[in-house]
Structure 1
Amino acid sequence: MASDYLSNFYAVAKQLTIPPKTILLEEGKVADKLYLIRKGCLRLFFYNDGKDITFQFFFEGDFVASFDSLYKRTPSLFYLESIEPAEVAAIKRNDFYAIIKDDPRWRQAYEEKLIDRFHSYQQLFLSRIKNTPQQRYEELLKEYPNIIQRVPQHYIASYLGITPVSLSRIRNRR
């Protein structure tokens, strides 16, 4: 995205420094902000039978929100949490939608981000069905080569749909 119109975003966004393990959105709450990660790592997760299930990671340059909740004003189905210290630009829903209404480049960029997110979820869904945990791990490393240094092993295991012990075995085979 060209920086000439990122200035519109930064003009209305609030710059936040977030400690690790900070919940930015709770399951059941309606999302009212969109975040642009300047530094750090965030994750989306939910609880299933008391187990914490991570289903997506976000890093520098990523926009993150519960897009469904933000758009439809419905309760979020998951939590958004910082994994490591993060610096984000947070923009309120109404300010964001005013920007994309006024600037077609923003609308296009937003649509591309939504399509990218849809693609990621489609890939995750298919990977869970057809790939072994080893293959899912290899895919993750290919997409995020530094993830092992930045994300705790139990979150990675959760994302892969395996136990931390199984992940340890997979890592030892490499």
Structure 2
Amino acid sequence: MEEIKKFIDHLYPMNHADWDFFSSKLQKEIVQKNSTLIKAGMIENYLSFISEGIVRFYIPKEETDLTFGFLFENEFVTAYDSFITQTPSLYQIETLTKTTLWRISYKDLQEVYKKTESGNLIGRTMAENMYLIKSKREVSLLSKTAEERYLDLFLERPELLKQIPLKYIASYIGVTPQALSRIRKRIT
């Protein structure tokens, strides 16, 4: 739980009473590799902090899934659009490694927002951060080549890329596994 406290304190330090209330709502969950956190068509009920592990976001397709995101330790994970609207998710989230999560339910988070000084500010800051990640991804898809997107991912998380199957990385940057293989040969 120390990781989430550090992360939140970096955004906006919570006073002891707010932290005690917030942390009392958190549930620790250890999830095995290749486990589904949410399926398409289900309503997201949790905002989770990854204290260890890697997850991917994808749209399931018959032939090949469309991967559109990865999250790593010390980041929050949720099907955020489903979470805030309480409507079914259009995509799925799965673990790529054994993952340790600290989770808070939608209902409990709303209570934190109502009963703490800093809850709303931290929630807004988190929403802004999620927007910036999404915006950066969209701009990257529209303005960079697949090779540039791969290099960006490699520069941001080189040690973690070794744990992500290449077929998911290829899907994420918008190419076939064969094209990714050619990109990797060119840059090494």
Which TM-score applies when normalising by structure 2? 0.85
The match for 2:130 is: 117
Residues 10 and 89 in structure 1, CA contact (< 8 A), matched pair in contact too: no
Unpaired segments ≥5 residues, structure 1: none
Which secondary structure does the structure 2 equivalent of 1:123 belong to?
helix
In structure 2, relative to structure 1, the CA distance for the partners of 1:153 and 1:91 (3 Å cut) is same
The match for 1:131 is: 144
Offset, 1:25:
0.5
The match for 1:22 is: 35
Q: Pairwise mapping of residues 7-156 of structure 1 onto structure 2 (< 5 A)?
A: 7-48=20-61, 50-156=63-169
Which secondary structure does the structure 1 equivalent of 2:100 belong to?
strand
Offset, 1:12:
1.6
In structure 2, relative to structure 1, the CA distance for the partners of 1:8 and 1:149 (3 Å cut) is farther
Which TM-score applies when normalising by structure 1? 0.91
State the alpha-carbon separation in 2 of the partners of residues 6 and 146 from structure 1.
Answer: 32
Offset, 1:51:
2.2
How many correspondences in the alignment? 174
Counterpart residue type for residue 133 of structure 1: A
In structure 2, relative to structure 1, the CA distance for the partners of 1:61 and 1:123 (3 Å cut) is same
Query: Percent of aligned positions with the same letter in both sequences?
Result: 27
State the alpha-carbon separation in 2 of the partners of residues 105 and 116 from structure 1.
Answer: 16
Unpaired segments ≥5 residues, structure 2: 1-7
**After TM superposition, where is structure 1 displaced by more than 6 Å over at least 4 residues in a row?**
none
State the alpha-carbon separation in 1 of the partners of residues 158 and 20 from structure 2.
Answer: 30
In structure 2, relative to structure 1, the CA distance for the partners of 1:43 and 1:8 (3 Å cut) is farther
CA RMSD of aligned residues (A): 1.7
Offset, 1:135:
0.6
In structure 2, relative to structure 1, the CA distance for the partners of 1:126 and 1:81 (3 Å cut) is same
State the alpha-carbon separation in 2 of the partners of residues 172 and 104 from structure 1.
Answer: 53
In structure 2, relative to structure 1, the CA distance for the partners of 1:127 and 1:71 (3 Å cut) is same
Offset, 1:7:
4.4
State the alpha-carbon separation in 2 of the partners of residues 81 and 43 from structure 1.
Answer: 6
Q: What's the CA shift string for 1:88-138, capped at 9, x where partnerless?
A: 112111011111222242222221221122122222112112211111111
Offset, 1:8:
3.5
